[in-house]
Homo-oligomer: A and B are copies of this chain.
Amino acid sequence: MGVNSNRAEDFSSQDTTLRITTESVMPGMEIHKVCLPPKKTTLQKLKQRLGEIFFPDDPLHRFKNRTWCKKLLLGLQFLFPIFQWGPEYSLKLLRSDTISGLTIASLAIPQGISYAKLANLPPIVGLYSSFVPPLIYSILGSSRHLGVGPVSIASLVMGSMLSETVSPHDEPILYLKLAFTATFFAGLFQASLGFLRLGFVIDFLSKATLVGFMAGAAVIVSLQQLKGLLGIVHFTTKMQFIPVISSVFKHRDEWSWQTIVVGFSFLVFLLTSRHISMKRPKLFWVSAAAPLTSVILSTLLVFCLKLKSHKISVIGYLPKGLNPPSANMLSFSGPDLALAIKTGIVTGILSLTEGIAVGRTFAALKNYQVDGNKEMMAIGLMNMAGSCSSCYVTTGSFSRSAVNYNAGAQTAVSNIIMSTAVLVTLLFLMPLFYYTPNVILGAIIITAVIGLIDYQAAYRLWKVDKLDFLACACSFFGVLFISVPLGLGIAVVVSVFKILLHVTRPNTLIMGNIRGTNTYQCLGRYKEASRVPSFLILAIESPIYFANSTYLQERILRWIREEEDWIKANNEGTLKCVILDMTAVTAIDTSGIDLVRELRKMLEKRSFQLVLANPVGSVMEKLHQSKTLDSFGLNGIYLTVGEAVADISALWKSQP
């Protein structure tokens, strides 16, 4: 400690001359000075930090060093990806897109009608929602394979949240108004997340949470379809497991065997076709065409056998014509505004998560990038426009996108083709659905959601990460027994709690030297690692924060106590120096700084030396700003554990 007179200057100056000790343990080992990171003002740091938070992908890097004209073109392409692929569009691409577009249309029409029923909306709204949003997405969206339309999860959540307050049967107009208003808020929320570059919010719904959530939702949705499949008339509007199950058995007298026979035959047909397509992806068209085939067959069946009179309920009259405008139905006041906003945010987040995940999955398969924040804006704007044209929440659907991809879609034109097919249906084919039995919609929904129960993924979670499995189980049971938003909320809290737990109780490891190297590794893990006499080398595996500084102090003191006990038991030399390997201490706050000071004082009183090895830039900076560095001096901070051991041993030898 004698050479530390100008230590403050030593640390703040940025020169990088080496400090070489003559009597090192490792002959010829150079001792390097630990540098502070380059000096930055608070403003510069804030700018860099905000840049990392909001622009980690550096979205404007393509604009650098370009002419104005080029910049304009790039900007246009940035905002409307259609300008990117549009000029290179060819007849060959159109052929692929037409085939895939027609294929997904055959899936989209029955799905649209079914999902609208799931949301307690008139079936026609499902078709409207398969017309306008895909058109808008094809201009704004950056994914080439996303099949856009209503999806089961968002439909279910919207239906369950709205019908808790407003009955869709008693007040259908108010319910419709609320649905459109919620869709508007969903779109606004999604577009704002994208515009404000807050896309990382959806990352907090981890995959583990989603696996549980989707499975729970699929179970609930499937059970609810028992209403249609069994032909029950009086059914609960609640979404929890227990009321639904009890409702099924309470109304046993309403079960209709004709409905059951028709329903379960088509369910078996649909599930078989799904199974075939899953076994052989080349036969994707089997499951893609099955829903429409079922609709046609069952409609013909009901029509020919006059089963309508035999207690099989049918869709009934559907109005012909294009989407009517619905901007006048949005209401931004009144007692239900809070409900609309809440429903909008929850469905918005869920549909966004699905859309982004699906887009990324297929982009990765074809090796192109999907910009999350841009996609959010596209999906958000499409929902805002949808809410003004009688559509409810839409997003990229997994089943539709998979069919689209397998059918060979090349660009977003396949969405335009699908829209056109829906347009034709809306204009001319609506009367054909009059005799379509409701039971078939239930079968289609069950087939669609059954794939969401990914028990293999849950098993993988259990095997790899028990806490992830816990989050998964929480969201599954939360959705099943409590409610959708609460179930999701609990799962997010569990996930965040996991992060906090890791910080609150970080690992500390006792390290040893790997023979013949300067590498230090965990003693318990590496048999080649051996203790260095007189040293206790501890690695702290977490940032040091207020939440763990008390724990770390206790834990480090316990390590020292145990080391002393071990030394006593083994008759080794005395402990003289404690080295903290700070490589994994990636951040520190003022409580952490206090811990370091306190620990140093406590160890000094017991005449141990405390040494820090390899503090990272930000930690070094804070140690400097709080003047803690000064108290450590030159023999207190080293670049590596190896250098610390070498230098301090040499010092001890020279001063016996």
Contact = CB atoms under 8 A, between A and B. Distances in A.
A524 B48 CA distance: 14
Contacts of A37: 522, 524-525
Interface in A417-474: 460-461, 463-468
Contacts of A505: 52-53, 56, 200
Given A56-B551, A525-B35, A558-B57, A622 B464 contact: yes
A555 B56 contact: yes
Interface string A608-627: 00000000111000100110
Interface in A463-488: 463-468
B616 A464 contact: no
Contact of A200 (B61, B207, B498, B551): B551
A589 B208 CA distance: 9
A338 B30 CA distance: 66
A586 B625 contact: no
A546 B211 CA distance: 13
B30 A516 contact: yes
A501 B58 CA distance: 19
Contact of A605 (B367, B522, B554, B557): B367
Nearest to A45: B466
Nearest to A516: B30
Contacts of A496: 500
Contacts of A461: 590
A7 interface: no
- Identical copies of this chain, number: 2
Q: Which of A203, A369, A372, A542 has the most CB of B within 10 A?
A: A203
A287 B547 CA distance: 35
A548 B207 contact: no
Contact of A546 (B464, B495, B546): B495
A527 interface: yes
B587 A527 contact: no
Contact of A554 (B57, B463, B545, B550): B57
Nearest to A36: B525
Contacts of A589: 206, 208, 465, 467-468, 498
A50 to B, nearest CB: 10
A51 B169 CA distance: 56
A558 to B, nearest CB: 6
A4 to B, nearest CB: 22
A41 interface: no
A460 B593 CA distance: 11
A583 B584 contact: yes
A570 interface: no
B587 A502 contact: yes
A466 B42 contact: yes
A475 to B, nearest CB: 13
B460 A626 contact: yes
A514 interface: yes
Contacts of A206: 545-547, 589, 591
A427 B58 CA distance: 76
A268 interface: no
Nearest to A541: B586
A517 interface: yes
Contact of A590 (B208, B524, B616): B208
A203 B626 CA distance: 21
A505 B521 CA distance: 28
A602 interface: yes
A22 interface: no
B502 A543 contact: yes
Contacts of A598: 364
A639 B519 contact: yes
Contacts of A504: 200, 203
B200 A527 contact: no
A25 interface: no
A526 interface: yes
A323 to B, nearest CB: 35
Contact of A547 (B460, B499, B593): B499
Q: Which of A465, A507, A524, A598 has the most CB of B within 10 A?
A: A465
Nearest to A592: B465
A27 interface: no
A590 B203 contact: no
A622 B465 contact: yes
Given A203-B504, A367-B605, A545 B465 contact: no
B586 A526 contact: no
Contacts of A466: 42, 46
A25 to B, nearest CB: 15
Contacts of A555: 56-57
A551 B502 contact: no
A605 B466 CA distance: 32
Nearest to A496: B500
A516 B639 CA distance: 14
A502 B601 CA distance: 29
A144 B522 CA distance: 39
A504 B54 CA distance: 11
Contact of A203 (B546, B561, B602): B546
A589 to B, nearest CB: 5
A334 interface: no
A207 B590 contact: yes
A629 to B, nearest CB: 12
A294 to B, nearest CB: 36
A23 interface: no
Contacts of A369: 557
A16 interface: yes
Given A36-B525, A38-B525, A468-B589, 7 more contacts: A56-B505, A206-B545, A208-B591, A367-B602, A495-B546, A522-B617, A541-B586
11 contacts: A16-B527, A18-B528, A46-B466, A57-B558, A203-B548, A206-B545, A465-B622, A468-B589, A499-B545, A507-B618, A541-B586
- Give the 9 A-B residue pairs with the shortest CB-CB distance, closest first: A206-B546, A541-B586, A584-B584, A57-B554, A16-B527, A464-B626, A464-B625, A37-B525, A468-B590
